[in-house]
Structures are given as C-alpha cells and as structure tokens.
Amino acid sequence: MATTPFRVRFAPAPTGMMHLGNIRTALMNYLIAQQKQGTFVLRIEDTDGERNFDPQATKIIEDLTWLGLIHDEGPQKGGDFGPYFQSQRTDLYNQKLQELISKQQVYRCFCSSEELEKRRLRQIALKQPPRYDRTCYKLTPEKSALRAASEPFIWRMYMDQTKIITINDLSHGPVTFDLKHFSDFPLSRQDGSITFLFANFVDDVMMKMSCVIRGEDHLSNTACQAALYAAFGVTLPTFWHMPILCNIDGKKLSKRDFGFSLRDLKHAGFLPEAILNYLAIIGGSFTQEIMSVQELIKTFNFEGLSSTGQIKYDVEKLRWTNHKWLCLLPKEKVAALARPYVESMYEESKKLSDTAFAELIGHMQKEMVTLEDSIRVLAFYFTTPTYQPDSAHTLVSADKRDQAKEILIKATSFTAIDQLLTLLKTESAAAGIAPKELYSLVRYALMGLPSGPGIKDLVEILGVAVCQKRFNECAKLL
C-alpha cells in the first residue's frame, strides 16, 4: 500500500440520515489516515438532486463532528482537489469521457430499458449469463453518429473480454477478475449525466486516492473500475471491501433495525466514543475491547483483516460498550450530557446546581446503560416510589417477613449512615435473614427497585429524613 502521500476518502450521499454503515466506513478511513499520517477527505456524492435533503452536507458534517471524525479536506475546509461535491464536477467527468471517446474505448448505445429487459429475460430463459449483447457496438461510426442526432443514447465502456485484471484488497488479498464474465457497462445516462461508477472512478483518480474503503457489495463493481484504471494507464489504489453489517438474523441492516440511524442512537443517549469503539471491534478479536479512538489508531491492524462477507450488529454488545464508557467518563461530563434528559422529565431537577447534579449522577452512572437511562435511575430522587405488596413480598421469604418488617421499623429512627449499616448487619444476623435479601428490601424501600447502588450511596443521595419516611411506608406493606 502506498504510504506517501497517503489519501483516503469518505464519500456519502446526502439522500438520507447517517447510519451505522456510513459511520463504520468513515471511521475506518479516519483510522487508516491517522495511522499513515495521511489525509482524510470528505467528498459528497450529491448527483441525485431529487433525493438530496441535505444539499450542503451540513447534517453530514455535523454528525461527523459529533463523532470526532474531522475531515482534513473537503466541504467547508477546501483543498487542492476540489470541488468536493460531485454535482460541481460535471465538466471534469465529461473531460474524462471525451478522452475515452477519442481513444475509441466507448461507444454509443441506443437500446431502451424495455429492450434490454426483454433480452435479459431471454438470456435467463436460455440459461445464458444475462449481460449486454453489444448490439450497438456493431454499429458503424457513421450510423452511430447519424442516430445520435435524433435518438437518446448512453455511452458504454467496451470491456476487452480477453483480459484478466487483478486488484489488491486488504481483506481478500489479490482478487482476480476475468473480464469475459463482465458486460460493457454504462458511463452516462440518456440525459447526459454521468453514472455513479464512472464519477467515483474519476474522483478517486483526480483526487489521488491511495486506498478505497467501501462495502463488500461493491466488490464486483471493482472489476469495471479496474478496467477504467487500465484504460487511462493509472495505477490502481489498494481496496478494502468491508463486511456488510447485518442484523442478528443475518439480514442486511435496515432502518427497521434499532440503531441503524445515528440520530436514533443519539436520541437514545449513546455516546460517540461508544459507537465508534463498537464499530471498530465488531467482527474482530481484541484483547482489550474498550478503546478510545486514539487507542484504536495505535492498535487497529489493517494488515490482518477478516475476509468474511458480513458481520452481525448486536445492539446488546453496543449497549454493553456504552455502559462501559458511561462508567469511565468523569461524572461532570456524564452529568452535562444527561441533564437535558432529566430536565425534560423532572422540572425539579432544574433547581439543582451543576455541582449537585454531578454528585447525584456520580452515585448513579454505573446503573446507566445509555444517557436516557438517567430518567429511570433518578426517578426515586425526584418522585416517591409507589410500593406494591406483591413486589415487596417476593424479596423476603414468608417466614421471615415479620422480622424484616421489624428491622425496617427500627431503621426509621437511624440518624447516621454507619448506624444504619450496623443495624442492618446485626439485625439480619439475629433474624436469620440473608443480607442479600434484606439489602434488596432496603433498596426497594428507598428506590422502589430491589437492585441499584449501595445503601450508603442511597442515604447520601436522599438524606436521613427521606429515608426514615420511606422505611416507614414500606414497612406497612409487610
């Protein structure tokens, strides 16, 4: 792989919200650029004007900035290889097309989509490989030019089907394409616009890309682009065709799957550190799984990549990764991120100072999986628990229920944390109640939940008076 100067690109289309597949591609381009001390280019594939809802790529750049994947060159930053919107590069595409026309490596095709479909179905019926039959290649230059004056046409690339082309892929190694298995492919459309495949090729050549990273589903297209590189006498870049992200059932990830959209993950309170961490380790084997982007830059091995065609996205592993990051971050940062969620639910929380709110979060952040969980785990602080007799009864065996009630009643008179802890320890031993049972009941009395932070933390959060009152209320149920 060429290392100097090393250039890679992330080239999204502004036709939909950023999703996990986009982000993983951007991340891998960013990591390898950082490893090689190269340039990370952002290029916008905006030629589908009817579907573009983010024409200036503002949302794309906002999302990349939120993730910390800052491009070195591209929209809003400029560079020596612009413009960085495909819609502004039409003249460059036409120049390259003219070069192929002058070399007689392309020809006009007048076949309609209906005609092509009929031939394709006939080939399938005859058990022949469905590919273009070169009807228009057989036209003389004169006849082709004459028809072009009054009929719509496209330009097709002539594939020399006697040749074999080899590319180098980071996961697959050398990949060989026998061009006899490939059709002459379109470079333009009938309206004169350039196809995605040709525009990508021109951009990658003119922007001097060293490595092209994209999904496994583009592997077969690479044969056509490799033929274009050969036609222009340009050295092929290295490729990496990454495994496709699939859901737990093995189907390609789609908007129906939770977490497919970055906006969904942001709304649910997933951290950018966790999202990037998860997408870097998915499908791989790492001794240390929780890593920052800087650690990933140092440790990610682009020389030992798996050649599998797909990997499964597991939202539970993403949730685990997010939980680990929430535990690692300073309580002040978690508090600042969680505060909008809490304030949206509990008006009283707006009265807490930043310091007080950070202290509250500090006690509870290990109980959170996402930032949105702050609403749930802090409910006991802002609202009085609603106790249910059935729930309380399941925490202590029936034969110990009276003793447990007496312990809660005694606890209503504690005045210091150490006093309460000593009381619970002594009384549980005397009554023959397992500490685990009793502490679950105490947490239930204080929080309305049988599990959570330590008793000491809960007393510090709620204060002695509130704890006494809740012990009394819960004891009435036993």
Q: What is the 3-state secondary structure (H, E, C) of 190-204?
A: CCCCECHHHHHHHHH
Q: Are residue 349 and residue 234 in the same domain, yes or no?
A: no
What percent of the chain stands above pLDDT 70? 99
Residue 67 corresponds to which tokens in the numbers above?
């993730």
Q: Please state, in angstroms and as integers, the Cα–Cα distance from residue 48 to each residue in 313, 355, 443, following that order.
A: 29, 50, 57
Provide Rg for the chain, Cα atoms: 31
Q: Would residue 67 count as lying in a domain?
A: no
Residue 42 pLDDT exceeds 70: yes
Q: Are residue 99 and residue 233 in the same domain, yes or no?
A: yes
Rounded to whole angstroms, the Cα distance separating 382 from 344 reads 13
Q: Would residue 248 count as lying in a domain?
A: no
Q: Would residue 373 count as lying in a domain?
A: yes
Return the pLDDT at 2: 47
Residue 3 pLDDT exceeds 80: no
Q: What is the mean pLDDT of residues 378-404?
A: 90
Q: What is the mean pLDDT of residues 209-236?
A: 95
Residue 333 pLDDT exceeds 60: yes
Closest to 357 measured CA to CA, from 373, 380, 381: 381
At 425-435, the pLDDT tens digits run 999 999 999 98
At 122-135, the pLDDT tens digits run 999 998 889 999 99
Q: Would residue 195 count as lying in a domain?
A: yes
Which of 1-5, 16-20, 126-130, 405-409 is modeled with the greatest confidence? 405-409
Q: Are residue 316 and residue 362 in the same domain, yes or no?
A: yes
Q: Are residue 372 and residue 447 in the same domain, yes or no?
A: no
Q: What is the CATH number of the domain that holds 216?
A: 3.40.50.620
Q: Are residue 315 and residue 190 in the same domain, yes or no?
A: no
Q: What average pLDDT does the chain have?
A: 93
104: containing domain = 90-242
Return the pLDDT at 304: 80
At 136-156, the pLDDT tens digits run 999 999 999 999 999 999 999
Rounded to whole angstroms, the Cα distance separating 441 from 397 reads 11
Count of domains for the chain: 3
Neighbours of 113 (CB within 10 A): 8
Rounded to whole angstroms, the Cα distance separating 354 from 375 reads 17
Return the pLDDT at 4: 64
Rounded to whole angstroms, the Cα distance separating 371 from 337 reads 7
Residue 1 pLDDT exceeds 70: no
Return the pLDDT at 129: 87
Q: What is the CATH number of the domain that holds 411?
A: 1.10.10.350
Q: What is the mean pLDDT of residues 213-233?
A: 94
Contact indicator for 214, 241 with CB cutoff of 8 Å: yes
Q: Are residue 286 and residue 347 in the same domain, yes or no?
A: yes
Q: Are residue 369 and residue 450 in the same domain, yes or no?
A: no
Residue 50 pLDDT exceeds 80: no
Q: Of 381, 405, 426, at which residue does a domain stop?
A: 381
Q: Are residue 297 and residue 330 in the same domain, yes or no?
A: yes
Return the pLDDT at 49: 67
Closest to 194 measured CA to CA, from 87, 51, 81: 87
Return the pLDDT at 422: 95
Q: Are residue 94 and residue 208 in the same domain, yes or no?
A: yes
Q: What is the mean pLDDT of residues 298-317?
A: 88
State residue 37 phi and psi, 5-degree precision. 50, 45
Q: Would residue 440 count as lying in a domain?
A: yes
Q: What is the mean pLDDT of residues 7-21?
A: 91
Rounded to whole angstroms, the Cα distance separating 209 from 426 reads 71
Rounded to whole angstroms, the Cα distance separating 337 from 264 reads 16
Contact indicator for 215, 90 with CB cutoff of 8 Å: no
Q: If you ran DSSP here, which 8-state letter would residue 401 be given? A: H
Handedness of CA 252, 258, 261, 265 (dihedral sign): negative
Residue 201 corresponds to which tokens in the numbers above?
């090729």
Rounded to whole angstroms, the Cα distance separating 164 from 59 reads 42
